Amino acid sequence: MNVSDSELVMKILEDNGFKIVDHIDRADVIIFNTCTVRQHAEDRALGRITNEMSRKKDNKDLKIGIIGCVAQRLGKNLLQNKGIDFIVGTDQYLNLPEIITGVIENSRSLCNTRINNNEIYAGLYPAHQGEFSAYVTIMRGCNNFCSYCIVPYTRGSERSRRAEDIFRELRRAGERGFKDITLLGQNVNSYNYKKLDFPLLLKETNKIDSINRIRFVTSHPKDLSDRLIDIMAKSEKVCEHIHLPMQSGDNEILRVMNRGYTAEHYLGLVKKLRKAMPEIAITTDIIAGFPGETEQQFLNTYKMMKEIEFDYAFTFKFSPRNGTKASEFDNQVPEILRLDRLQKLIKLQQQITHKKYQQQIGKIKEIYVEKVSKKNIHEISGKSRDFKITVFPGSEDLIGKFVRVKITDAVGWTLKGKLLDHYPG
């Protein structure tokens, strides 16, 4: 989402006479787009901003601004750092040109973090920066209010982007050579615009001739319908990969998290997905050490991971976010215990992922070639439909093409293979 928002901001600024420079040393304005979903992400962003403040000693006219979720969450509090010139929230990007101009002309700091629950940036098409893959935002905000999550407070409530804008951006992206498209939303399954819901949007997207692959994130388990699973299975461009955050395998923890589903429901979804698409890769998010989590409740999550065997899991220790309900709970799990549980989840997932990748040996996979391998200039690299990086001997002229590769080995989280043939993409 932050990549997509950065591309949106670039488009807004370029349309208003600003020019993106190729190196930070040449910039008159530096903008940091920030994430606050976990404290670590926020700390890294603020640390980087602090490091760049020294540039003002050599360039007195340099302006530094913060946008995104940290800007939205902390607002004017960020102005305590006197080196920051402007703070702009997630719904105020259209005002950036005026704000920056005002900062330059008046030499005073400005802050605009007003939430606008009607803002969908209609008619704007981000300046996609990748070479082969593009992110297309279909909705903004979130109505779920999971007890640990800051997103509804920094992104506002759910609103769906106009379908005609989405399809226009998709066609443009495909015509510009972006063949691998990811549809974005805090909860894509909730998309709804004039009776066009997400399954129908996916079905219509599948008809666009100029794109070859369709992915989407993030799916909320409580809204993943049988109809959506059926359309995924029947749409040849929709990739065999889904990111489905489980967060916990214990029903009481899920209830306190306000997730809206049970462990049994989640397990049922996994079975339905695998029945409809036997080769589907399922990835997830899991939180270790949520407030009140007992050893048995942790083991319930551990057992669920073991039973499901995710292709990959993004595992995190619970990170209290000020303003969320979970940060106020008085039964916080000690940090040392959170870390211990996290390490156990990481170790288990490493074993499962190793097994999953070894099972790929001997299979023939479609790879979208993206670049020359960093480790060997005689090899090229790309992603499979199930989102696995695959490296194999080949020449640069295959970059941007779809090829068939037979998997011969798995090293870490990378597949190795042998080129069979390629075809126009």
Cβ neighbours of residue 376 under 8 Å, at least 6 residues apart?
Answer: 391
- Please give the structure tokens belonging to residue 388: 């696995």
Domain 364-423: give its CATH code. Answer: 2.40.50.140
Band of residue 43 on the pLDDT scale cut at 50, 70, 90: very high
CB 96 within 8 A of CB 5: no
Q: Which of 218, 294, 217 is nearest to 249 (CA)?
A: 294
pTM of the full structure: 0.94
Residue 82 has pLDDT above 90, yes or no: no
Please state, in angstroms and rounded to a whole number, the distance separating the CA atoms of residues 91 and 76.
Answer: 16
Q: ∠ CA(286), CA(413), CA(417), 5° rounding?
A: 145
**Cα–Cα distance measured from residue 21 to residue 2, given in angstroms and rounded to the nearest whole number:** 19
Give percent of the chain with pLDDT exceeding 70.
99
Is 80 exceeded by the pLDDT of residue 315?
yes
Backbone angles phi, psi at 20, to 5 degrees: -75, 130
d(CA 168, CA 416): 37
Give residue 226's pLDDT.
98
Query: Residue range 131-157: average pLDDT?
Result: 96
Q: Measured between alpha carbons, how far is 161 from 138 in angstroms, rounded to an integer?
A: 5
Q: Is it the case that residue 108 has pLDDT exceeding 80?
A: yes
**Bridge partner residues of 366 (DSSP):** 404
For residue 71, CA distances in Å to 86, 215, 253, 312 come to 9, 29, 30, 31
pLDDT of 423 reads 58
**Cα distance between residue 366 and residue 390, in whole Å:** 10
Query: How far apart, in whole angstroms, are the C-alpha atoms of residue 124 and residue 413?
Result: 37
Range scoring the smallest mean pLDDT among 37-51, 251-265, 308-322: 37-51
Reply yes or no on whether the pLDDT at 15 is more than 60.
yes
**Comparison of pLDDT for 94 and 421, the residue scoring more:** 94
Return d(Cα 286, Cα 73) in angstroms, integer. 24
Q: What is the predicted pLDDT for the residue at 360?
A: 97
Q: What is the mean pLDDT of residues 115-127?
A: 93
From-to residues of CATH 3.80.30.20 in the chain: 133-358
pLDDT score, position 424: 52
Q: What is the CATH number of domain 2-112?
A: 3.40.50.12160
CB 284 within 8 A of CB 297: no
CATH 2.40.50.140 positions along the chain are: 364-423
Query: Is the distance from CB of 97 to CB of 12 less than 8 angstroms?
Result: yes
pLDDT at 395 over 80: yes
Does residue 323 have a pLDDT over 70? Answer: yes
Could you tell me what percent of the chain has a pLDDT over 90? 93
Delimit the CATH 3.40.50.12160 region(s) of the chain.
Answer: 2-112
The conformation of residue 207, written as its DSSP 8-state character, comes to T
Output the 3-class SS for 247-312. ECCCHHHHHHHCCCCCHHHHHHHHHHHHHHCCCCEEEEEEEECCCCCCHHHHHHHHHHHHHHCCCE
Report the topology of domain 133-358: pyruvate-formate lyase- activating enzyme (3.80.30)
- pLDDT surpassing 70 at residue 244: yes
Quick: pLDDT tens for 324-360.
Answer: 999 999 999 999 999 999 999 999 999 999 999 999 9
* Predicted confidence band of residue 130 (pLDDT cuts 50, 70, 90): confident
Distance CA 197, CA 188 (A): 10
Q: How confident is the model at residue 241 (pLDDT cuts 50, 70, 90)?
A: very high
* Residue 151 confidence (pLDDT) above 60: yes
The Cα 201–Cα 165 span in angstroms is 12
Mean pLDDT of the chain: 95
